[in-house]
């Protein structure tokens, strides 16, 4: 069966990895009592159903696969990191869209999935009119990869666990060492110890373990940031601090003070080594496979998060000079196209800049930094709705807002896909609007997607 036509806010629901006895795509789960009687779509079922439907539509190169190994959770259940791929073949420029790296950010997997659905339901091999032709050209001339749920175990925990505060869990569900010997081995890469850059001065301190890591500061490097670990039953690594990058494993500043990336009990803990998490190794290996074996250049990426209404250039990419004129132009284009209507205003709804300029802290070892500095992609983090300083309540976006978040973001996502493989050109103006000069992205400026859901403009 085809995906539903989503033209009203009650056609949208959040996603869980899967739910017991799920048997068909686009079928809602029974109510989850501990989550205010909410219902969820199954990401696994819907991705497979979307792939099957795409084949009937003639979508080229449709392929669904698991990114690396299955990921066991803390109670021994294995889950896939599922990738949906489609579009042109060898040599086509590629775009990657991901979501859900932080478990509690439920709107992010939904938006990543809905962009793939939008492209597939509106693809036709015999297009009629401008909008169908644009969608076909996007799909035929780009290689597209969607990984909507980068943290499947964390997501499941936020939906189905009855533990206190489980709804707000951010990290994955790795079981960390519980003994002094275990921590010494992890922080020194085994027994006998091997270098585990950038950690230094790893030592037993009474019953605990102390170590130091550089502090990410300007100019680099900064002084060392010491921390003492008290062995205990602790779960989880922040997957968005665990990627393989130059400054992964550095502690950062938050509002002018050293953060707690070094602390295993912290929600932003970077892990006992770079790419220590299987989820991290899986997505990094998938990106490497795409570049090496599929022989496409990963040129543009979005990693969706919530919340803050921001478009972010990755910290390390920005500080190391990767954000060139084309990269900055694409950021301006995304900012211009993320909107609630076609009418112009004196300011844009989503901010644009680096994490430190926009939300007052650096973020290193991120997936976007890995894509930008290792794959040379124009990689963005987009922090979706809501806006403001709402604390944990900001992660609980009402379901009836999903449609609006999708509609305000779909034009920017299409433009980012169109930008893959060619330079972007835009000019920032102090008032009214950015001037978009590259034709492929300019195509989407006047698309009236508002109130249309997953249907094309009229």
| Per-residue pLDDT reduced to its tens digit, 224-233 | 899 999 999 9
Q: Distance between CA atoms of 387 and 308, rounded to whole angstroms?
A: 4
How many other C-beta atoms can be found within 10 angstroms of the C-beta atom of residue 94?
27
Give the pLDDT score at 410: 98
Give the pLDDT score at 222: 67
Give the pLDDT score at 433: 64
Phi and psi, residue 244, nearest 5° = -80, 105
State the greatest distance between any 2 C-alpha atoms of the chain, in Å, as a whole number: 73
Place of tokens 């992010």: 108
Q: Distance between CA atoms of 330 and 317, rounded to whole angstroms?
A: 15
Average pLDDT over residues 420-444: 81
Q: Give the CA dihedral 428, 434, 435, 439, nearest 10 degrees.
A: 110
Strand partners, 352: 311
Place of tokens 């509690």: 104
With beta carbons less than 8 A apart as the criterion, state whether 352 and 311 touch: yes
Picking from 86, 82, 77, 47, the residue whose alpha carbon sits closest to that of residue 279 is 82
User: CATH 3.40.630.10 in the chain, residues?
Assistant: 10-165+291-442
DSSP letter string, 178-236: -SHHHHHHHHTTSSS----TT-EEEEEETTEEEEEEEB--SSSP--EEEEEE-----B-
Which tokens in the block code for residue 141?
């001339």
pLDDT band of 142, cuts 50, 70, 90: very high
Q: Is the alpha carbon torsion for 192, 198, 201, 205 positive or negative?
A: negative
pLDDT at 220 > cutoff 80: no
Average pLDDT over residues 335-363: 90
Average pLDDT over residues 430-452: 84
Give the pLDDT score at 248: 97
User: Of all residues in the chain, what percent carry a pLDDT higher than 70?
Assistant: 97
Give the pLDDT score at 363: 96
Using the 8-state DSSP alphabet, how is residue 50 labeled?
H
Give the pLDDT score at 121: 98
Give the pLDDT score at 274: 96
| Strands 78-79 vs 82-87: parallel, antiparallel or unpaired | unpaired
pLDDT at 136 > cutoff 60: yes
Higher pLDDT pick, 434 / 396? 396
Q: Which of 187-191, 342-346, 357-361, 378-382 has the highest mean pLDDT?
A: 378-382
Q: Distance between CA atoms of 17 and 47, rounded to whole angstroms?
A: 11
| Per-residue pLDDT reduced to its tens digit, 355-378 | 999 999 999 999 999 999 999 999
**Packing angle between helix 43-57 and helix 107-121, nearest 10 degrees?**
10
pLDDT at 297 > cutoff 90: no
Q: Distance between CA atoms of 379 and 373, rounded to whole angstroms?
A: 9
| Strands 143-147 vs 82-87: parallel, antiparallel or unpaired | antiparallel
pLDDT band of 430, cuts 50, 70, 90: low
Task: State the pTM of this model.
Answer: 0.97
Q: Distance between CA atoms of 310 and 355, rounded to whole angstroms?
A: 9
pLDDT band of 431, cuts 50, 70, 90: very low
Which tokens in the block code for residue 109?
């997997």
Q: Spelled out in words, what is the top-level CATH class assigned to the domain 10-165+291-442?
A: alpha beta
Q: Give the CA dihedral 378, 383, 388, 393, nearest 10 degrees.
A: -160
pLDDT band of 294, cuts 50, 70, 90: confident
| Per-residue pLDDT reduced to its tens digit, 97-128 | 999 999 999 999 999 999 999 999 999 999 99
| Per-residue pLDDT reduced to its tens digit, 235-293 | 999 999 999 999 999 999 887 778 899 999 999 999 999 999 999 999 999 999 999 88
- HSE value, Cβ hemisphere, 13 Å, CA-based, for 402: 27
Picking from 21, 44, 37, 39, the residue whose alpha carbon sits closest to that of residue 29 is 39
User: Of all residues in the chain, what percent carry a pLDDT higher than 90?
Assistant: 86
């Amino acid at each position: 069966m085809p995906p539903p036509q989503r033209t009203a806010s009650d056609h949208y629901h959040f996603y869980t990895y899967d739910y017991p006895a799920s048997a068909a795509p686009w079928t809602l789960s029974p109510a989850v009592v501990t989550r205010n009687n909410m219902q969820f779509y199954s990401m696994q079922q819907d991705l497979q159903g979307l792939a099957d439907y795409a084949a009937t539509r003639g979508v080229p190169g449709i392929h669904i696969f698991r990114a690396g190994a299955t990921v066991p959770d803390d109670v021994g259940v294995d889950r896939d990191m599922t990738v949906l791929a489609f579009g042109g073949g060898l040599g086509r420029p590629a775009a990657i869209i991901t979501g859900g790296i932080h478990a509690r950010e439920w709107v992010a997997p939904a938006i990543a999935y809905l962009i793939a659905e939008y492209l597939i339901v509106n693809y036709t091999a015999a297009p009629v009119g401008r909008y169908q032709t644009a969608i076909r050209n996007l799909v035929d001339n780009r290689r597209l990869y969607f990984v909507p749920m980068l943290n499947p175990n964390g997501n499941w925990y936020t939906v189905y666990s009855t533990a206190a505060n489980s709804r707000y869990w951010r990290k994955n569900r790795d079981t960390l060492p519980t003994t002094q010997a275990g921590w010494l081995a992890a922080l020194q890469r085994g027994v006998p110890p091997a270098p585990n850059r950038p950690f230094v001065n790893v030592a037993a301190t009474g019953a605990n373990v102390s170590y130091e890591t550089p502090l990410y500061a300007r100019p680099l490097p900064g002084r060392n940031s010491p921390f003492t670990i008290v062995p205990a039953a602790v779960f989880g690594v922040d997957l968005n601090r665990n990627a393989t990058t130059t400054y992964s494993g550095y502690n950062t500043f938050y509002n002018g003070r050293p953060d707690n990336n070094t602390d295993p009990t912290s929600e932003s803990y970077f892990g006992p080594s770079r790419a220590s998490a299987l989820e991290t190794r899986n997505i990094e290996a998938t990106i490497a496979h795409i570049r090496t074996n599929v022989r496409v250049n990963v040129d543009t990426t979005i990693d969706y998060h919530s919340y803050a209404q921001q478009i972010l250039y990755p910290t390390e990419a920005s500080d190391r000079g990767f954000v060139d004129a084309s990269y900055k132009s694409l950021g301006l284009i995304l900012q211009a196209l993320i909107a609630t209507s076609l009418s112009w205003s004196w300011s844009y709804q989503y901010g644009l800049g680096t994490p430190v300029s926009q939300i007052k802290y650096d973020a290193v070892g991120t997936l976007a930094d890995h894509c930008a500095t290792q794959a040379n992609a124009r990689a963005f983090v987009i922090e979706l709705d809501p806006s403001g300083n709402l604390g944990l309540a900001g992660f609980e976006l009402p379901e009836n807002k999903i449609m609006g978040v999708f509609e305000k973001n779909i034009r920017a996502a299409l433009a980012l896909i169109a930008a893959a493989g060619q330079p972007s050109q835009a000019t920032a103006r102090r008032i009214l609007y950015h001037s978009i000069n590259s034709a492929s992205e300019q195509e989407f400026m006047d698309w009236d997607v508002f109130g249309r859901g997953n249907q094309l403009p009229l």
